Amino acid sequence: MVNEQKVLQMTKMAVYESGEGRKDKAVSGYFRGDYIGLQMILSFLVITAAFAAVAAAYVCFNFEELMADIYTMDLVEMGRSVLGAYLAVLVVYLAVTWLVYAVRYNRARKRLDTLLDDLESLEEIDEEI
């Protein structure tokens, strides 16, 4: 005879595994610090490339003006201000990255713990039969 409770439990688990479960399995392969660290490294690379692209676009669009003022501007001060802006953007972006991926990791772990609890309850249902 078919146990309806067992079928419902297995259906719930199958829906989870076909949806969010795929993402959560990728998270489960890492320790918390490793997962967040990897995402922060990737974010560092992305923000560095984006900042370089924005700086290159600025130089391209203002090339004539920059060339006219190149001998009168304080290049060291300009370099410091660009570096300061880069570091400010980097710190903010990395802080947001840390926060987002820490929350994602914690939520994924909770969902995986729920899945393990569901598996245990499914095992208990089998033992009752």
User: Alpha carbon 94 to chain centroid distance?
Assistant: 10
Is residue 92 a contact partner of residue 40, using CB atoms and an 8 Å limit? Answer: no
Q: Residue 93: CB partners within 8 Å, gap ≥ 6? A: 43, 47
**Phi/psi zone of residue 30: left (φ > 0), alpha (ψ -120 to 50 degrees), beta?**
beta
Instruction: Kindly tell me if the per-residue pLDDT of 1 is higher than 60.
Output: no
Q: Please give the Cα distance from 92 to 71 (Å, whole number).
A: 34
Query: What's the sign of the alpha-carbon dihedral 50, 51, 54, 60?
Result: negative
Alpha-carbon torsion angle 107, 108, 111, 116, nearest 10: -140
Q: pLDDT tens for residues 13-47? A: 888 888 888 888 888 889 999 999 999 999 999 99
Structure tokens at 63: 């090339």
Q: What percent of the chain has pLDDT over 70?
A: 98
Instruction: Find, among 11, 14, 3, 17, the residue nearest to 126 by Cα.
Output: 3
Q: Please give the Cα distance from 94 to 44 (Å, whole number).
A: 7
Q: pLDDT tens for residues 75-123? A: 999 999 999 999 999 999 999 999 999 999 999 999 999 888 888 888 8
